[in-house]
Structure 1
Amino acid sequence: MNQIQDIVKTYYGETLSTSNDLKTDACTTADSPPPHVSAALAAVHDEVASKYYGCGLAIPSLLEGLKVLDLGCGAGRDVFALAKLVGPDGHVTGVDMTDAQLDVAREHEAWHAEQFGYDAPNTRFVKGYLETLGELDLEPNTFDLIISNCVINLCTDKPEVFRQAHRLLKPGGELYFSDVYADRRIPADLAADPVLYGECLSGALYWGDFQSIAKAAGFTDPRTVNHRRLGIIDPALKDKLGPIRFASVTARLIKLDGLDAACEDYGQAVIYKGGIPGMEQVFVLDAEHSIEAGRVFPVCGNTLAMLMDTRFAPYFDVVGDGATHYGLFPGCAAPDVFASTDEDEAPASPGGCCG
């Protein structure tokens, strides 16, 4: 265990008792989940929920029957919520390096199984470091979904975490995670500050580096699902950080071969047939793709693959055979994750592409 890992274990195992002890809003969640997810989160034991330090909502749609891995599961809030959402035929594994957190999670496995009406727990908790996932008892190409909630920024070898996530996912599976990013590379003196690191700030990746690292790991087209600027509550920390801006971003990285390096136009569109729980009328793939049921929605080749080569395929029809390439998809632009966001912003119109 290196010094940074020791700092993180101490901060989350001893320094913080509950989420009320945090000094910033980096490790808190502002997202409003859909009703079925809210119900699953509400079913989590109070002691587990009180030790939640996530920065976003790392629970995507259409989960029943999936095999899920939670990287940096802590006391297991998201694991247990997912255990309810995947149902008795699904399974959720949580990995964490902190004994104090894992002890809480394991103490509540049987309680949650009973609450959900399951004959036995559909959860498992594994102690380990995200930087060395390859050494754990986790089979490659077996997970439908990997989530992580404000943890990868705490890792000392972030590229390896993304490489291992890609290795563990099935083709068409996804890494769906929330994390904190900076608008520049963090200076070394700040990166060594234990409080800033524990608060998910000084370990934050520069947003541009995240894009490069994700692509190098095999996730050709990272997508931003949502984002928000972070506020620094503590005046002393705010003074230390100066002009550096931070954002909490939920991203979707889908394991698909053959994606284009850019958004290319093949003259195709999709029609959402509706029916995905929590997104019956509008399916949100990412910040640039809110697809209304029954509406013809033009898409680039990568977006088409993300819909038709994944678990979402039964809910979409395709228009066009893709035989002709028309150049770059028009209007392709990623969102500025460090801009102030308007929660009432209208959904993207058809034709807006990748983020």
Structure 2
Amino acid sequence: LTCSFHDRLTNNACLAPAQPIPAFVLKALKKIHPEVTSKYYGCGLVVPECLEGCKLLDLGSGSGRDCYMLSQLVGEKGHVTGIDMTEDQLEVARKYVDHHTQEFGYEKPNVDFVRGYIEALKEAGLEENSFDIIISNCVVNLSPDKRKVLSDAYRVLKDGGELYFSDVYSSRKLSDEIKNHKVLWGECLGGALWWEDLVRLAQEVGFSPPRLVTANVITVDNMELEAILGDYQFVSATYRLFKVPKISNKASLVIYNGNITGFGESLEFDAQYTFKVDEVVEVDGEVASILSHSRFAEEFTFQPPGGPAGCGVKKPKVCANTRTMAPNVS
């Protein structure tokens, strides 16, 4: 489950990360076997924060590059599972389990790979309430049943768990011509979800409203495809969805303690909130619920509103939607 090979893409969705790659992530990537890296055909890089000791699932794991990178970040006490439908890719990933166990200095493997479909996690043997985090890298758009992907992800996540994923979104619902165009499908555009449908589907299956992390406009360098796409616009965006209790309307003051690996000075949580260490930031009820009921709970001090606010950064919302961060594709 990947987009077309990079050298055949006619859009920029896979060319550059939306944010600089942290040094500790680059260090982890350098330890991965060259064959795993060379046979990985995913787009970009998806690395959530606060991973130590977590149990993580990668949807559409391919040759295992992201799994092996993340297996270093979760540490020996954490675990990473990759699921993919392509046996050839899984063979490459499984081939190097022992190699990476030794390379990382672990006594036993903390990564495994299963064959299956991202819409059928139960059938693949993945248990309910078993993962802290799920990631996905430009894969959900290739699924014909995106609701099932989200509902299965919600089912296997623990309470407080997160789906952190990057994908392609459109400015409005796609026409049948675009959906059925083989080249556009291979370009990860034909399966793009209208971002408002993501908002609706996520909440219908139980997730908190999606939080936008980053978004880049996708440009298409092909006149024939441009003619078919017309005034449709696309973005490559990373969202975070949480399995937390229904949102309280109560705002809260939070203080980031700076203890997350690689984020000692500040934590850029999403496109709206950046938390600087030891500074008081007022957050809305949605974010307060997420922070206090997820793995981030121990990384913040919480205070009732009304106290002094500090210099934490709260950015203006990307769109007029007051509940959900949305990519600006207008």
TM-score w.r.t. length of structure 2: 0.89
Secondary structure of the residue that 2:245 maps to in structure 1?
A: coil
Deviation (angstroms), 1:42? 2.3
Is the contact made by 2:170 and 2:329 (CA closer than 8 Å) also made in structure 1?
no
Corresponding position of 2:327: 337
Of 40-49 and 128-137, deviating more is 40-49
Corresponding position of 2:271: 287
Query: Residues 28-72 of structure 1, C-alpha deviation per residue, up to 9 Å, x if partnerless?
Result: 442322111121122222222223333443211111111000001
**Residues 1:82 and 2:66 are matched in the alignment:** no
Structure 2 CA distance for partners of 1:188 and 1:125, relative to 1, 3 Å: same
Corresponding position of 2:149: 161
Secondary structure of the residue that 1:287 maps to in structure 2?
A: coil
RMSD of the alignment, in Å? 2.2
Structure 2 CA distance for partners of 1:53 and 1:24, relative to 1, 3 Å: farther
Deviation (angstroms), 1:321? 7.1
- For residues 246 and 182 of structure 2, the distance between their equivalents in structure 1, rounded to whole angstroms, comes to 42
**Residues 1:125 and 2:125 are matched in the alignment:** no
Query: Residues 161-194 of structure 1, C-alpha deviation per residue, up to 9 Å, x if partnerless?
Result: 1001011000111000001001011111221122
Is the contact made by 2:15 and 2:44 (CA closer than 8 Å) also made in structure 1?
yes
**Residues 1:306 and 2:290 are matched in the alignment:** yes
**Residues 1:23 and 2:2 are matched in the alignment:** no
Corresponding position of 1:175: 163
Question: Gaps spanning 5+ residues in structure 1: where?
Answer: 1-7, 323-330, 341-355
- For residues 156 and 287 of structure 2, the distance between their equivalents in structure 1, rounded to whole angstroms, comes to 22
Question: Gaps spanning 5+ residues in structure 2: where?
Answer: 307-315
Deviation (angstroms), 1:153? 0.4
- For residues 244 and 41 of structure 2, the distance between their equivalents in structure 1, rounded to whole angstroms, comes to 30
Corresponding position of 2:34: 46
Corresponding position of 2:132: 144
Deviation (angstroms), 1:234? 3.4
Secondary structure of the residue that 2:301 maps to in structure 1?
A: strand
Deviation (angstroms), 1:336? 4.9
Of 313-322 and 127-136, deviating more is 313-322
Query: Residues 115-162 of structure 1, C-alpha deviation per residue, up to 9 Å, x if partnerless?
Result: 111223211111111122221111110100000000000001000110
Identity of aligned residues (%): 43
Secondary structure of the residue that 1:286 maps to in structure 2?
A: coil
Corresponding position of 2:195: 207
Q: How many residues were matched structurally?
A: 316
- For residues 339 and 267 of structure 1, the distance between their equivalents in structure 2, rounded to whole angstroms, comes to 29
Corresponding position of 1:248: 236
